[in-house]
Chain A
Amino acid sequence: MPVNMIVCCKQVPDPEAPPAVFKVVNNKMTLPPDVKPVIGQYEEFALEAALKIKDTGGGKITALSVGNNFVRDVIKKALAVGSDELILLEDEAFEGGDSWSTANALAMAIKKIGEYDIIFCGRQSSDWDAGQVGLGIAEILGIPSVTLARKVEVVDGKAKVERVIPDGYQVVEVTLPALIVVTSGLGALRYATLKGIMAAAKKQPVIWKPADIGLEPSQIGAAGRRSKLEKLFQPVKEAKCEIIEGDTPAEAGANLAVRLREAKLL
């Protein structure tokens, strides 16, 4: 059966950037300009989950994101890999939101989209790591959810999900419409084909402003927050480091073994 899917994506600073470049200045994370934005790693898995379903049974994928100053080449990757439509909630007023105001804006946009069988989200954003937005959307829309999915199929009008648990996995069946939160283990997002990149270049994202989804500026972004960020800081890490030397790696290994033994650690 063709499945109508919405994938929520977030544009984040590349989390693979070396830790040393992450600097907090005046309660704000500042990154050098050579750290490029990307679609969050878990949202990439969410896109792949949707694409796999489209591969087998067909369907439509709408990518959805909230924020401001989207870099078109970055966010349009969602189209290049095979999404049919891209909707951006893009406005200055959307900046500085928390899990609540973000989930609320996305849920309002999804209500406006209207028809959907599955909403896919990543397990947590690659910047704030909160892991709340997906479940928040499900709660606002009043639909069931399955989290930590590593495989998703649609069988007989229901979704069949492999959900990761600490010592294995569960196979969970959920009625549709449902929200599914994706984790790793699903396989990396496929590369865009040349045809996909060309098609994405011609396509323009649909832009919705707060009023388009029925929200006042006071309900969104920083103004709509429920939690207050008091402080952002980088704890001073004290580390004592001793390099165990050796003329060859093998010798260094042997020296380390001796030291661990001498220190009675083993």
Chain B
Amino acid sequence: MAENKGILVCGELADGKLASITTELLGCGRKLADELKEDLSCLVASDAVGEASKEAIAFGADKVYAVETPVLKEYQADSYMQVVEKLVKDISPRMILIGQTSMGRDLAPRLAFRLGTSLTTDCLDLSIDPQTKLLTQTRPVYGGNAQAVFTNELMPQVVTIRTKAMSPLERDDSRKGEVIPTKIDIDASKVRTKILETVKEEAVGIKLEDAPVIVSGGRGMGGPEPFQTVLKELADLLHGAVGASRPPADNGWVAEGLHIGLTGKIVAPDIYIAVAISGASQQEVVPALTKKLKELLAG
């Protein structure tokens, strides 16, 4: 096998554009690639890649492998794996960076096991050991109560990176790079899953991931009702969104889409108001806070 060289980012698209996680992976990958003095490549695979290839270059990629085929319209492990596995065999990257997203969580472990290498998921920090050129990988463990640093000597080095853990570069449309349209045949007989239906359950209003203010409730809320009333009223007033910790999501008090945390959504608001999370029970404060803010905002 050829010597492993360069860094490959597994790109993701959202609404036909490069997803924010991919710009973050490119920002992180660019730094690592510059340290290694090697190339940064990005895979974009979809039914319609559109401008995403050019965006990947503007955000730091040297080479973009664009794979366009109707089967890739919706992510399925059995079809995407064929694309990623083929590309990895063709270009032999030293490192593969994948987002710790719905797709990444599903794809990365299978990919690592198939390639016979190791994987560290949900990394918060990556650095390169200058001697060995191996990745030092830091990730949270024990529900965030500790962090662990891992290394491994197998190639390629595969990691998934938590959303919002890395910063993207400033978009620079004058950056030079190469878009390589890549044809990869997908054997449909190897796709053993079928998506029968995709149902959107999104809450109306501002998206949790984009909300500058989040009002989040925990187990102490006691049931579904306060999420619709006191928390919602405060969130609306602050032009924010309602979120929840794990127990309300597990108990079905709120839709899973409102669940914030390690296994839910990763958020980075300016203000996060936690109500009755981990035993605290200050629900009484919220109506008063809401009332006073209304007065202040009106005045």
Contact = CB atoms under 8 A, between A and B. Distances in A.
A140 B120 contact: no
B238 interface: yes
Chain B interface residue bracket vs A: 35 or more
Contacts of A227: 118-120, 150-152
A232 B289 contact: no
A164 interface: yes
A229 B296 CA distance: 53
Nearest to B285: A253
B105 A229 contact: no
B154 interface: yes
Contact of B292 (A98, A147, A166, A253): A253
A256 B250 CA distance: 30
Contacts of A147: 105-106
A170 interface: yes
Contacts of B288: 249-254, 257
A253 B295 CA distance: 13
What does DSSP make chain B's interface, helix, strand, loop or mixed? mixed
A234 B147 contact: yes
A250 B196 CA distance: 50
B287 A250 contact: yes
A29 B193 contact: no
Given A128-B141, A166-B265, A250-B285, A173 B257 contact: no
Interface string B174-190: 00000000000000000
B291 to A, nearest CB: 7
Nearest to A228: B151
A135 B110 contact: yes
B202 A136 contact: no
B70 interface: no
Contacts, number: 211
A172 B79 CA distance: 14
Contacts of A188: 250-251
Contact of A229 (B148, B192, B249, B289): B148
B154 A184 contact: no
B109 interface: yes
Given A22-B145, A234-B147, A266 B289 contact: no
A131 B101 CA distance: 12
A26 B83 CA distance: 43
B109 A136 contact: yes
Contacts of B238: 266
A33 interface: no
Contact of A165 (B102, B265, B270): B102
B130 interface: no
Nearest to B207: A167
Contacts of A175: 192-193
Q: Is the interface of A mostly helix, strand, loop or mixed?
A: mixed
Interface in A177-233: 178, 183-185, 187-188, 226-233
B93 to A, nearest CB: 18
Contact of B142 (A127, A132, A138, A165): A127
A74 interface: no
A144 B192 CA distance: 6
A71 interface: no
B289 A253 contact: yes
Interface string A228-266: 111111110000000000001111111011101100011
Given A184-B263, A230-B136, A146 B256 contact: no
B197 A229 contact: no
B110 A260 contact: no
A99 interface: yes
Nearest to A254: B292
Interface of A: 15, 19, 22, 24, 29, 98-100, 103, 123-124, 126-132, 134-136, 138-140, 144-148, 150, 160, 164-175, 178, 183-185, 187-188, 226-235, 248-254, 256-258, 260-261, 265-266
| A-B complex: 8 closest residue pairs judged by Cβ atoms | A253-B288, A257-B292, A144-B192, A249-B284, A135-B109, A22-B145, A139-B113, A168-B201
20 contacts: A129-B141, A129-B142, A131-B105, A147-B106, A150-B256, A166-B101, A168-B198, A169-B201, A170-B199, A171-B196, A173-B196, A175-B193, A184-B249, A229-B149, A230-B136, A233-B149, A234-B146, A249-B282, A250-B285, A265-B271
Given A165-B102, A184-B249, 19 more contacts: A100-B118, A129-B122, A130-B121, A136-B113, A138-B110, A145-B106, A168-B198, A169-B198, A171-B196, A172-B194, A184-B263, A185-B252, A226-B118, A228-B150, A253-B284, A253-B292, A257-B288, A257-B293, A266-B271
Interface of B: 74, 77-78, 101-102, 105-106, 109-110, 112-114, 117-122, 136, 140-143, 145-152, 154, 192-202, 213, 238, 246, 249-252, 256-257, 259, 262-263, 265, 270-271, 282, 284-293, 296-297
